[in-house]
């Protein structure tokens, strides 16, 4: 059908539904309803007819949806066939169904990995030109990914990204603001965390997050719950984790990068997580560009692999670790806490006892950086576990380093570490090596009885 736009006055004279006869309601969302319809002059020619509900901003969002979708003549973006200028309705091709319907009914087969690969390719290609132009969809979910009939494709279908009604337009192109600070947008469980705090200022990383949740749902069979990690087993586990990092700055940044990463994972036999961390750390140690965030993300996905932490992650250069702690203090503190757990609880057979200085020094670097940067809560909690481990191992080299550092701490930083030492029950351990030396912190001196 040739794409047309129907003038308001013409549509008003003939019918509020233009040239279309509504047959059956097939979907209803937060601000619009979709009907199966046929063209009055062409009986049997079925289309999807969408019109707004009687709710605030519904018609304005439909005008925005039509305007944005008409900008992109792309095989993986839903096409607009006809529309009223005033946003009272528009027409699009009739889909076979959305991803949720088709997968849940078994009409896509049973190979979730194959379906995930197809969806990743289609959605990233559809979003790419929109993101390049500054548009963010903000509601990627299984219900907004539709299958259109396509005889040219072996599967008989072509996937498109639909429902652009809450799209965020480029800076400077927004005339009316339909989202308020603190007002969340998107589908619960799929929407990125930042859309629930300030949806007006989200970036393309929000769509990356939502796509990652779609793939997680496909591969696990579990509908996502907000703020609860959902990671599948298999080769796409790492990709989903990188897409669904709660902190948008730590996610894969573009849909092109998502597609390229997926292609690599599908064609290259995956290394074990431990071997992957070892390989990445080795590359960094030999001068490769540091991707410490990716290394720590992978480690945090496998918190029970002690060898990954003690033997591989602990080899990460300390200057790069300190820099990453400054940019991602919460994530780095979490990894350091996990390392301490393995350091105290794991079997040490086959390792030199003095090697304990390496992971101890690693955690101490994180602790020092957190405290110096003012992250006192993180520092106090990590310090408690560090002082327990330092006392447990009683390594002369690390003890000297710890003592010199404690002596140098001014107030109020010394007071924070005094609380950690009290919680760890380690005052007696540090009192003797400090001896009569002067401490800058009166709180620390009091805690140690000096």
Three-class DSSP labels, 394-435: CCHHHHHHHHHHHHHCCCCHHHHHHHHHHHHCCHHHHHHHHC
Residue 43 has pLDDT above 90, yes or no: no
Tens of pLDDT, residue by residue over 246-293, are 999 999 999 999 999 998 887 767 778 999 999 999 988 888 777 899
In degrees to the nearest 10, what's the CA dihedral of 210, 196, 175, 92?
Answer: 40
| pLDDT on residue 52 | 93
Domain ranges across the chain: 1-94, 95-270, 273-448
Q: What number is the average pLDDT over the span 357-373?
A: 98
| pLDDT on residue 173 | 60
| pLDDT on residue 45 | 87
- Model confidence at 174, pLDDT cuts 50, 70, 90, reads low
Residue 335 has pLDDT above 60, yes or no: yes
- Average model confidence (pLDDT) for the chain? 90
Q: What number is the average pLDDT over the span 223-233?
A: 94
CA 210/CA 227 separation, integer angstroms: 12
Tens of pLDDT, residue by residue over 110-169, are 999 999 999 999 999 999 999 999 999 999 999 999 999 999 888 899 999 999 989 998
Is residue 290 classed exposed, middle or buried when 0-12, 13-18 and 19+ CB atoms within 10 A define those classes? buried
CA 38/CA 278 separation, integer angstroms: 60
| pLDDT on residue 44 | 83
CATH topology agreement for domains 1-94 and 95-270:
no
1-94 CATH pick, 3.30.200.20, 3.30.420.10, 3.40.140.10, 3.30.450.20: 3.30.200.20
- The share of the chain scoring above pLDDT 90, in percent, equals 76
Q: How far apart are the first and last CA of the chain?
A: 87
In degrees to the nearest 10, what's the CA dihedral of 285, 286, 292, 296?
Answer: -60
Residue 10 has pLDDT above 50, yes or no: no
Domain 95-270 fold: Transferase(Phosphotransferase); domain 1 (1.10.510)
| pLDDT on residue 85 | 85
52-61, 120-129, 339-348, 374-383: segment of lowest average pLDDT: 52-61
Q: What number is the average pLDDT over the span 392-415?
A: 95
Q: For residue 323, is the peptide bond before it cis, meaning its omega torsion is within 30 degrees of 0?
A: no
Tens of pLDDT, residue by residue over 416-448, are 999 999 999 999 999 989 877 789 999 999 999
CA 266/CA 251 separation, integer angstroms: 20
Q: 175 is written with which tokens?
A: 């005339």
- The share of the chain scoring above pLDDT 70, in percent, equals 93
The DSSP bridge pattern shows strands 157-161 and 82-84 to be unpaired
Order of strands, edge to edge, in the sheet holding 157-161?
97-98, 145-149, 157-161
| pLDDT on residue 18 | 81
Higher pLDDT, 3 or 244: 244
Q: Look-up: residue for tokens 């609880």?
A: 345
């Amino acid at each position: 059908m040739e794409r047309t736009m129907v003038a308001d006055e013409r549509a008003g004279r003939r019918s509020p539904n233009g040239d279309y006869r509504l047959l059956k309601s097939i979907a209803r969302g937060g601000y619009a309803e979709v009907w199966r319809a046929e063209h009055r002059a062409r009986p049997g020619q079925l289309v999807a007819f969408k019109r707004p509900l009687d709710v605030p901003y519904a018609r304005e969002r439909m005008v925005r949806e039509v305007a944005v979708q008409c900008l992109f003549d792309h095989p993986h973006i839903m096409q607009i066939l006809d529309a009223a200028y005033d946003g009272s309705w528009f027409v699009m091709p009739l889909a076979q169904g959305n991803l949720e319907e088709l997968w849940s009914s078994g009409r896509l087969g049973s190979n979730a990995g194959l379906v995930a690969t197809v969806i990743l390719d289609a959605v990233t290609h559809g979003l790419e030109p929109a993101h390049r132009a500054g548009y963010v969809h903000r509601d990627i979910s299984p219900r907004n990914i539709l299958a259109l009939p396509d005889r040219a494709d072996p599967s008989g279908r072509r996937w498109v990204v639909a429902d652009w009604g809450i799209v965020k337009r480029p800076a400077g192109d927004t005339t009316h603001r339909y989202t308020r600070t603190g007002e969340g947008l998107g589908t619960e469980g799929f929407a990125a965390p930042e859309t629930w705090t300030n949806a007006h200022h989200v970036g393309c990383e929000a769509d990356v997050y939502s796509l990652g949740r779609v793939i997680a749902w496909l591969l696990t069979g579990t509908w996502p719950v907000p703020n609860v990690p959902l990671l599948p087993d298999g080769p796409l586990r790492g990709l989903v984790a990188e897409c669904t990092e709660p902190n948008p700055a730590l996610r894969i940044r573009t849909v092109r990068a998502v597609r390229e990463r997926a292609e690599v994972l599908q064609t290259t036999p995956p290394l074990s997580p431990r071997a992957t961390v070892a390989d990445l750390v080795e590359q960094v140690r030999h001068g490769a560009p540091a991707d410490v965030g990716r290394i720590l993300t992978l480690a945090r996905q496998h918190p029970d692999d002690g060898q990954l932490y003690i033997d591989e992650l602990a080899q990460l250069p300390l200057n790069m670790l300190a820099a990453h702690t400054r940019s991602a203090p919460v994530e780095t503190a979490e990894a350091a806490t996990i390392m301490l757990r393995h350091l105290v609880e794991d079997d040490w057979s086959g390792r030199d006892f003095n090697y304990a200085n390496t992971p101890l020094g690693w955690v101490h670097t994180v602790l020092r950086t957190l405290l110096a940067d003012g992250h006192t809560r993180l520092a106090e909690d990590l310090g408690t576990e560090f002082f327990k481990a330092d006392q447990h191992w009683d390594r002369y080299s690390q003890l000297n380093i710890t003592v010199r550092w404690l002596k140098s701490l001014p107030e109020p930083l010394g007071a924070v570490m005094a609380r950690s030492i009290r919680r760890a029950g380690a005052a007696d351990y540090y009192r003797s090596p400090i001896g009569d030396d002067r401490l800058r912190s009166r709180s620390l001196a009091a805690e140690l009885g000096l």
